[in-house]
Amino acid sequence: MKRAILRAATFVAVCLIFTSTHAQVEGSTEIDSVAASTTVQNDSLSNNLAMQTDTAFENNKRWFFGCGFGLNFVGGTSLSLSPNVNYLVSEKVSIGVGLQGNYISIKDVQSTTTIGGNIIAQYTPVRMLTTLLEFSQLNVSTKRETLAGEVKDDFWESALFVGAGLNVSRNISLGVKYNLLYDSDESVYTSPILPFVNVNF
């Protein structure tokens, strides 16, 4: 009788120990599963936020407006203004179109007003430097003083500029550009070299 009671007590103890151990293992597994699920959800949320941030950054930076200024006193006075809109193709390359207006005056000789459009491509190899290639098509209205009196003339002129500028800040660059199509006898420009200031916003 005592032996039977001892066996029953031993069996009950073993069952209790097994049940307790199994419950602990299941609890640990459930905690690990919840932790893993939480980690996956957090990672997914972080990735989604990162993607949204990158998308917003790209949308905000793809398009930007600019305005170029030019001033030259070589051989006369030359002023230019060229508002433009640009599209960022990559982090270093942008293309754009714009309008351009120029006023050129050579005292007691002639004065010229030009209005037209331009196409511009810019490449920024490093943060501090921007290079450009610009084609302009301009309608030229000029007045010349001659011995016979004032002579007016209207015609079209093309200009192809290559240039480089120093990015003095995030939105402002200073530089010079050179007109590859410059002809001293026919060009509306007083010099093939034109300093410029460009402001982006």
Is residue 103 in some structural domain? yes
CA pair distance 201, 138, nearest whole angstrom: 25
Show the CA angle centred on residue 185, arms to residues 184 and 191, nearest 5°: 25
CATH code of the domain in which 166 resides:
2.40.160.20
Range of the domain at 136: 63-200
Is residue 26 in some structural domain? no
Is residue 170 in some structural domain? yes
What's this model's pTM, rounded to 2 decimal places? 0.61
Q: What is the DSSP string of 30-81?
A: HHHHHHHHHHHHHHHHHHHHHHHHHHHHHHHHHEEEEEEEEEE-TTSEEEEE
Is residue 49 in some structural domain? no
Q: Structural domain tally of the chain?
A: 1
Give pLDDT tens digits along the chain (201 positions). Answer: 544 444 544 444 444 444 444 444 444 444 344 344 444 344 443 444 334 334 434 555 688 888 887 777 777 787 888 899 999 999 899 999 999 888 888 777 788 898 999 999 999 999 899 999 999 999 999 888 777 778 888 889 999 999 999 999 888 889 999 999 998 887 877 789 988 888 887
**Three-class SS state of 140:** strand
Q: Residue 101 corresponds to which tokens in the numbers above?
A: 């207006």
* pLDDT at position 48: 44
Is residue 27 in some structural domain? no
Q: Which has the closest alpha carbon to 68: 130, 158, 124, 127?
A: 130
Is residue 52 in some structural domain? no
Torsional sign, CA 135, 141, 147, 148: positive
Is residue 38 in some structural domain? no
Is residue 31 in some structural domain? no
